[in-house]
A = this chain, B = another copy of it.
Amino acid sequence: MRTKSTRTTSRAATRKSVSKSASKSVSRTAPQARAAARAPLPVNTIINGDSIEELAKLPDASVDLVFADPPYNLQLEGELLRPNNTRVDGVDQEWDQFASFAEYDKFTRAWLAEAHRVLKPTGTLWVIGSYHNIFRVGVALQDLGFWVLNDIVWRKSNPMPNFRGRRFTNAHETMIWASKDRNAKGYTFNYDAMKALNDDLQMRSDWVLPICSGGERLKDDQGNKAHPTQKPESLLHRVILASSNPGDVVLDPFFGTGTTGAVAKKLNRKYVGIERDAQYAEVARKRIDRISHADPESLEVTQGKRAQPRVPFGTLVERGMIEPGTVLYGPGKRFKAKVRADGSLVVTGASGSIHKIGAHVQGQEACNGWTFWHLKTDAGLTPIDVLRQQVRAEGSV
């Protein structure tokens, strides 16, 4: 099984390259020096090591999707925890607080910078957090050049109630979804699949899903939960389905017990997980080994018109489906135009594509000529889009 290959094995294969990079610490001040030595992406692998160090070893622009569930920097009664779970102990609490935030910011910027480097230009990143850390994460990623596409609220249908009655029940967590930069084009968003998931209404930025419990919750031998913050697979299902395609590589730098890898495998995506805790990594490995891929057909997803092949209007004329000289009508016969042999339309004073002339006669900026123009038939007006669908159905494009 793929999932058995470990970082160690793949490292052995390229020992030389790795030993070089190992000597360099995580500094972001010149990762270029290391780049030549980076091994190819170890796919369907759980890397047991520190997130920042191990991210630094991955090649540039190699990953389609990052999902990250970093430490939340929870500041509980009487103690402050560093990202590495050591306690901050100081005398002055205000100083503690500042030190804690500053350290957390430093940690956050370090792993986000590596995640940015590792992402393909068309890749996107998800980070989940709560009010303890999500603002710091958001600022860090904006400052690093990521461009926020949405913030998504996971509304927990069964949150833990507030016991003291001094605050509102904390019933949600927040995810940030971001592209690599402001002008990033071509990122994956399976709009129509999301719409299908939501009874043919656009998927909104607030998702109602139950927390991970019951049989899905991994337990250790004593029956205690194996990980304190295991995320529900339903959440990852939606994230991965929305923003990746089968065969894509999904990276999770805080792998925990491997929910990201489990769902990625179920959905025929590849995964790379980084986890510092060997015990979590082992639980994750076993979990993922038990999972089988789905059959490819059921992983096909509702496609919109964008995914369909383009058919130039001229094709219909060339193939004799529309004769030169045919008159096309706008809705309700309020407009007419004549088809020319090259697939352009003429009206008095103008000629051009079906779209341009459609816009022109209506005095508008833009127009979809396929749905605007109609043929007169015995049964009334038929949109020319029907002919396009015929061509596509013939598979001749």
- Give A residues with C-beta under 8 Å from B: 81, 85, 93-94, 97-98, 101, 130-132, 134-139, 142-143, 145, 148-153, 155, 157-159, 161-162, 165-172, 174, 176-177, 182-183, 189-191, 193-194, 196-200, 202-206, 208-210, 216, 232-234, 237-238, 241-242, 266-267, 294-295, 297-302, 304, 310, 312-315, 317-320, 323-325, 338-344, 346, 351-353, 364-367, 394-397
User: Are B340's CB and A199's CB within 8 A?
Assistant: no
A56 to B99, CA, bound (A): 29
Q: Which residue of B lies closest to A204 (CB)?
A: B171
Q: Which residue of B lies closest to A299 (CB)?
A: B341
User: Are A209's CB and B172's CB within 8 A?
Assistant: no
User: Are B310's CB and A158's CB within 8 A?
Assistant: no
A17: shortest Cβ distance to chain B, in Å? 30
A202, A203, A318, most chain B CB atoms within 10 A: A318
Taken together, the copies of this chain in the complex come to 2
Q: Which residue of B lies closest to A310 (CB)?
A: B199
Q: Which residue of B lies closest to A342 (CB)?
A: B193
**Residues A199 and B155 in contact in the complex (CB < 8 Å), given A93-B182, A135-B139, A338-B297:** no
User: Are A171's CB and B299's CB within 8 A?
Assistant: no
A385: shortest Cβ distance to chain B, in Å? 14
**Residues A197 and B153 in contact in the complex (CB < 8 Å), given A135-B135, A203-B169:** no
Contacting residues, chain B, for A169 (C-beta < 8 A): 202-205
Q: Which residue of B lies closest to A338 (CB)?
A: B298
Contacting residues, chain B, for A312 (C-beta < 8 A): 197-199
**Residues A205 and B342 in contact in the complex (CB < 8 Å), given A85-B365, A157-B396, A318-B234:** no
**Residues A342 and B190 in contact in the complex (CB < 8 Å), given A131-B148, A206-B171:** yes
Contacting residues, chain B, for A94 (C-beta < 8 A): 145, 182
Which residue of B98, B157, B339 is within 8 Å of A394 (Cβ)? B157
User: Are B340's CB and A298's CB within 8 A?
Assistant: yes
Contacting residues, chain B, for A325 (C-beta < 8 A): 294-295, 297-298
User: Are B157's CB and A155's CB within 8 A?
Assistant: no
Contacting residues, chain B, for A266 (C-beta < 8 A): 324
User: Are B135's CB and A131's CB within 8 A?
Assistant: no
